[in-house]
Amino acid sequence: MIELLKISLIAFMFVALGDKGMIFRRYRKAIRKLPQWLYFPLGGCYLCFVGQVCFWYYLIVYFKDYILIDHLFFVSGGIFLSAVYHKLYCWMR
């Protein structure tokens, strides 16, 4: 569970730091030119990006001991946590 909190927060902050005046703004501008189906999971949408990071992280780390239900929980939990992070982020700004 701690692993899920860490991965989802890191991925969320990567997208959040792409806002105006932040460090990853150039990256966000560069990927904006891509088609929408590619732009969102590469950092245009925090839910999509966190879902992708959690999906691939679980698949790579737990490949030998793969359990489908745990994989689905990991991705869903990451997306849920990113929505919570977004609420907190907007509240704190």
The answer, yes or no, to whether residue 5 has pLDDT greater than 90, is: yes
Stretch 38-56: mean pLDDT: 96
Query: Which amino acid is residue 27, in one-letter code?
Result: Y
What distance, in Å, lies between the first and last C-alpha atoms of the chain? 27
The pLDDT tens digits of the residues spanning 23-37 come to 999 999 999 999 999
* Spatial distance between the Cα atoms of 35 and 17, rounded to a whole number of angstroms: 21
Stretch 35-43: mean pLDDT: 95
* Spatial distance between the Cα atoms of 86 and 44, rounded to a whole number of angstroms: 14
* Spatial distance between the Cα atoms of 4 and 54, rounded to a whole number of angstroms: 8
Stretch 52-76: mean pLDDT: 96
Question: Are the CB atoms for 8 and 54 separated by under 8 Å?
Answer: yes
